[in-house]
Structure 1
């Protein structure tokens, strides 16, 4: 299932909602390990919109913000400082 890219207006709205969220996942010194990826996957499936807190340098954070969407089929909506907001459409309930 391929998601359509979000428009800038949709991203703006999601960033506003994401500001009020608490971080679901903290990515620390170990980086983007398999367990962190599994936790991100679970959070995206459950909530659709998640905030991630990074404990890394700015360049590393940029790399994570491009790596996470490619691995987990989600979209980077935006972020400030050491946080990033990611979105994936919720799966349809049968």
Structure 2
């Protein structure tokens, strides 16, 4: 999946509605974005396809950099950010989540 690919608004809305009931599965701790945290995010994405990651960083610019790094590393789609929670989508081999046609 190339970073240039995007989701249509309809697809994003569908993913947002699915993500609404989800709790963050990965929480960045005091050590920030470590290799272990990135591995955990990759694992969760491969297993669930749609996940939330909580980034408890108060500095907005730094938080944005963390989001960008996570998206670049995982090659996942950035669905939305609400507060300090990033919602990511990455289609898995089994295709658990069916996206509506754009």
Stretches of structure 2 lacking an aligned partner (at least 5 in a row): 96-102
The alignment covers a number of residue pairs equal to 92
Conserved? CA contact 1:29–1:56, under 8 Å: no
Q: Aligned residue for 2:85?
A: 83
- Residues 15-52 of structure 1: CA deviation (Å, up to 9, x unaligned): 12112101100012211100000000000000000011
Alignment of 1:67-78 (within 5 A): 67-78=69-80
Pick the structure with more helix per residue.
Answer: 1
| SS at structure 2 position matched to 1:30 | coil
Q: Partners in 2 of 1:61 and 1:88 — Cα distance?
A: 21
Alignment of 1:29-44 (within 5 A): 29-44=30-45
| SS at structure 2 position matched to 1:46 | helix
Q: Partners in 1 of 2:21 and 2:94 — Cα distance?
A: 25
Q: CA RMSD in A?
A: 1.5
Stretches of structure 1 lacking an aligned partner (at least 5 in a row): none
Q: State the TM-score, normalized to the length of structure 2.
A: 0.82
Larger relative contact order (Cα-Cα within 8 Å, sequence gap ≥ 6) = 2
Q: State the TM-score, normalized to the length of structure 1.
A: 0.88
